[in-house]
Amino acid sequence: MWTGLINAYKPYLPVSDTTPIVSLHEGNTPLIPIQNMAAHWGIPAKWYVKFEGLNPTGSFKDRGMCMAVTKAKEAGMTRVICASTGNTSASAAAYAAKAGMGCVVLIPKGKIALGKLSQAMMHGATVIQIDGNFDLALQIVRDIAEKEPIALVNSVNPYRIEGQKTGAFEIIDQLSDAPDYHVMPVGNAGNITAYWKGYTEFYNAGKATKRPKMIGFQAEGAAPIVRGHVIPDPETIATAIRIGNPASWKTAEAARDESGGFIGMVSDATITQFQQQLAQKDGVFCEPACAVAIAGVIEAAKRYTFTKDDTIVSIITGHGLKDPDHAISVSTTPIVVEATYEAVSKAIFSN
């Protein structure tokens, strides 16, 4: 039985036999081939998505959160705090509940997807909304955690990175080697930092013969790394990555440069287009932020010549159910008919 990523990768994680592991059996997510998208776009490579939306709270954050909450508990803390665009708060709330700890989350008012807000509330976190963006919320919680006995569980907490690096371990285990190209969304830039660390550790341990080119994507209205400066008022429909001043900026650039990859950006219209295509051609429903990891492959094809021997992995960081409002707003309205055989039959066959 799979019992979570801490048990699975213990030798590579900062835990001992006495560490009180807090787990919801996260990790072990599938690597799903998206051959219909590959055929549609003329990508000859083996193209997979790592569906991190299938973690217990529906996003990749569970990988880092199980480690961060485990270590906070080990240190004797009784409460955790985070700033969030939504997924971190959902995950922190769930793991704090499992650990019997309190949880406080700071979120940008009106700018987090409904599913994520409902999770933090259902798990019993203290939810505080601020009239400001994620960057400001993060500054506030960092200041509070420095002065008060409450554990900060944003990705500036190094244990988050330790947990999240296991995504790379799993990909290498699943493919029996590292992929050639790794494509993912970049927001606060903790996850690209974590994946690069994971690929590097398994490469150094002899479990992979290579490391992938790291390709990160941001939304055009929230692309500080691409533009090379802080964005004071980031704006995008992909609220998960609506971030203007990423905390792990430097390590994201290091991952990009050491791997020979790049960080690019796509428009909100492109994000929606690829979110719909992935759902409609390969049956994977992702939240808007992750669609940049699909669109990014088409952008990357302008720089690199993919061959049939190449392997590409796009990280689908969060489940589409997180943001039902966006999904409904960009879809065709359901047909309403009378509750009769004739009316339903007419609606199906007369168009």
Binding site for ligand F0G (CB under 6 A): 59, 61, 84-88, 155, 185-191, 240-241, 287, 289-290, 317-318
Least distance in Å: CB of 251 to ligand F0G?
Answer: 11
Q: How far apart are alpha carbons 171 and 224 in whole angstroms?
A: 28
Q: Which is nearer to ligand F0G, 46 or 91 (CB)?
A: 91
Q: Which is nearer to ligand F0G, 46 or 108 (CB)?
A: 108
Q: Which is nearer to ligand F0G, 88 or 314 (CB)?
A: 88
User: Facing residues of 130 across strands?
Assistant: 108
Q: Which is nearer to ligand F0G, 84 or 270 (CB)?
A: 84
Least distance in Å: CB of 174 to ligand F0G?
Answer: 20
Least distance in Å: CB of 242 to ligand F0G?
Answer: 9
Q: How far apart are alpha carbons 8 and 58 in whole angstroms?
A: 20
Q: Amino acid identity, residue 40?
A: H
Residue 15 in 3-state DSSP?
coil
Residue recorded with tokens 């001992």: 16
Residue recorded with tokens 């704090």: 96
Q: Which is nearer to ligand F0G, 29 or 85 (CB)?
A: 85
Least distance in Å: CB of 78 to ligand F0G?
Answer: 22
User: Facing residues of 312 across strands?
Assistant: 47, 181
Instruction: Kindly tell me the number of DSSP H helices and DSSP E strands found in the chain.
Output: 15, 10
Least distance in Å: CB of 262 to ligand F0G?
Answer: 16
Q: Which is nearer to ligand F0G, 46 or 236 (CB)?
A: 236
Number of C-beta neighbours around residue 10 at 10 A = 14
Q: Which is nearer to ligand F0G, 188 or 275 (CB)?
A: 188
Least distance in Å: CB of 61 to ligand F0G?
Answer: 6
Q: Which is nearer to ligand F0G, 4 or 115 (CB)?
A: 115
Residue recorded with tokens 């709270």: 57
Residue 204 in 3-state DSSP?
helix
Q: How far apart are alpha carbons 345 and 348 in whole angstroms?
A: 5
Least distance in Å: CB of 344 to ligand F0G?
Answer: 37
Q: Amino acid identity, residue 175?
A: L
Q: Which is nearer to ligand F0G, 62 or 287 (CB)?
A: 287
Q: How far apart are alpha carbons 247 and 303 in whole angstroms?
A: 28
Structural Rg of the chain based on CA atoms: 20
| DSSP assignment string, 145-202 | HHHSS-EE-STTSHHHHHHHTHHHHHHHHHHTS--SEEEEE-SSSHHHHHHHHHHHHH
Least distance in Å: CB of 67 to ligand F0G?
Answer: 14
Least distance in Å: CB of 300 to ligand F0G?
Answer: 18
- H helices of 215-267, in order, are 224-227, 249-259
Least distance in Å: CB of 196 to ligand F0G?
Answer: 12
153-174: burial string, b at 16+ Cβ within 10 Å, e else: bbbbbebbbbbbbbbbbbbbbb
- Which strands form 151-152's sheet, in the order they lie side by side? 126-130, 102-108, 79-83, 151-152
Q: Which is nearer to ligand F0G, 23 or 191 (CB)?
A: 191
